[in-house]
Amino acid sequence: MRLRIRESKTPQNRRTTFYAKRKIAIIFSACALWSAAYLFYRIARRDGGYSEWSNFSSCSASCGRGTRTKTRTCTQPEPNFFGRPCVGAKSETITCLVRECPVNGGFTDWSEFGSCSVSCGVGVRRRTRLCEKPKPRHGGLDCKGDTVETAACKFSVDCPVDGGFTEWSKFTTCSVTCGIGFQWRSRNCTNPAPKHGGKMCKGAIKEKHHCQIDCVFNGAKTTSANKKVSTSAAATEPPKEWITQF
């Protein structure tokens, strides 16, 4: 396109014509510069592009739940000259589990003390706790410590104590020096003695049985009934006859 500008011969008209030409030249120069810049922009402009995904990383935890991550970069190509950046996630994460972590056991709180083991005298009360907070798992250690605890408890009322016999004493000597007599032995209700309303011992506290001593008259051994007995018969121990309690 060609523009024809009619030149005037007057100085004022010539000055006007000069400025008109200059303005037109500036416009054409600006248009040409913009066109060149736009063409350069269209040629040199480059939108970003992602690289290939990397391999997933190793699990972030050696036991229990962890994560694995893979990444990609906006470098194929990199955006330049006002190119658009990459669209989409730069990383991706998934959960992973190498193995379960060991869980060491832990005790629960102590329970309340139970009732006393006796209704009189001195007894014990007990309380317990369990290795369940948490329970040991996956090779974890058991709880260390007592699971049962005891404490003494006492009532103001003493418990009844039933009586018990001592051992029998030795038999006394025979009550006669010749013939048939008696021998005694005894025991006491003191092992232990009854206390606090306890029961007395049941049974005899004394015991007697016959004893026989040979009598010698004119060199002959006889019994008190003047019956001759042999030496072997006289040596035998007479049987027990009765038990008497006094």
Model confidence pLDDT, tens digit, residues 39-66:
666 666 788 899 999 999 999 999 999 9
pLDDT for the residue 244: 36
pLDDT for the residue 108: 96
CATH code of the domain made up of 109-159: 2.20.100.10
pLDDT for the residue 221: 60
Equal CATH topology for 46-101 and 109-159? yes
Query: Domain extents for the chain?
Result: 1-44, 46-101, 109-159, 179-242
Superfamily of domain 46-101: Thrombospondin type-1 (TSP1) repeat (2.20.100.10)
Full pLDDT tens readout for the chain, 246 residues? 454 545 555 666 666 776 777 777 788 787 877 776 666 666 667 888 999 999 999 999 999 999 999 999 999 888 887 778 999 999 999 999 989 999 999 999 999 999 999 888 889 999 999 999 999 999 999 999 999 999 999 888 888 899 999 999 999 999 998 889 999 999 999 999 998 888 999 999 999 888 988 887 766 665 544 333 333 333 333 444 334 333
pLDDT for the residue 227: 36
Which residues, 6+ apart, have CB-to-CB distance to 100 below 8 Å? 63, 64, 137, 138
pLDDT for the residue 232: 30
Q: What is the 3-state secondary structure (H, E, C) of the chain?
A: CCCCCCCCCCHHHHHHHHHHHHHHHHHHHHHHHHHHHHHHHHHHCECCCCCCCCCCCCCCCCCCEEEEEEECCCCCCCCECCCCCCCCCCEEEEEEECCCCCECCCCCCCCCCCCCCCCCCEEEEEEECCCCCCCCECCCCCCCCCCEEEEEEECCCCCCECCCCCCCCCCCCCCCCCEEEEEEEECCCCCCCCECCCCCCCCCCEEEEEEEECEEECCEEECCCCCECCHHHHHCCCCEEECCCC
pLDDT for the residue 28: 77
